[in-house]
Amino acid sequence: MKNIVLFGPPGAGKGTQAEILKEKYQLKHISTGDVFRFNIKNKTQLGLLAKSYMDKGDLVPDNVTIDMLEAEVEKNPEAKGFIFDGFPRTNAQAKALDELMDSKDSQINAMVALEVDDEVLVERLLKRGKTSGRADDADESIIRNRITEYYNKTAILKDYYSAQNKYFGVDGVGSIEDITERLSAVINEL
């Protein structure tokens, strides 16, 4: 069983690559952002709450996000493994994920990170905003706040997984195919 955290700042290409890798390695893809957006669309209580944070580019509180992630994992008892996309984003989330995996006699095998410069991220997200319909992609100040949240709360997870020898950085600039190759080179060794 391979459980992979696909990591990187907003706009690094996690969602695009996760869609390809889930087919290639037959893993269940869980994107916390996608689950929140699904809940917003369906006007659930969780969606309403998440929206108030997401619209500003702030992180949704840990307790809410962790409960949601655990429920998503529990919905997939048959999964051969998971690609976590956009989770964990804080130390508390990383600890909760380790405990969850432990409780299933499993573990996170690797954090694979897409590395992309900030200005490239802003450019990509503004471009995506023209077609994605995502409010948080449409406004440069919200995009920059998401990147700030990443550096303030999320980037430290590199240390968390490095301490377990599980961090692998990959150049996230290039064609989709080239980047898939780089990620696959890491995953094939796990």
Which residues would be at the binding site for ligand AMP (CB under 6 A)?
10, 32-33, 36, 53-54, 57-60, 65, 86-87, 89, 93, 136, 146
Distance CA 73, CA 28 (A): 9
- Select 3 or 65, whichever has its Cβ closest to ligand AMP: 65
The residues carrying an active-site annotation are: 14, 89, 128, 134, 146
What minimum distance in Å lies between the beta carbon of 90 and ligand AMP? 7
The span from the CA of 7 to the CA of 43, in Å, is 28
The DSSP letter of residue 167 is E
End-to-end CA separation in angstroms for the chain: 10
Verify cis geometry, omega within 30 degrees of 0, for the bond prior to 88. Answer: yes
CB of 188 to ligand AMP, least distance (A): 25
**Lookup: tokens for 160:** 């968390």
Q: How far is the CB of 158 from ligand AMP (least distance, A)?
A: 16
Which is nearer to ligand AMP, 13 or 57 (by Cβ)? 57
Shortest Cβ contact with ligand AMP: which residue? 33
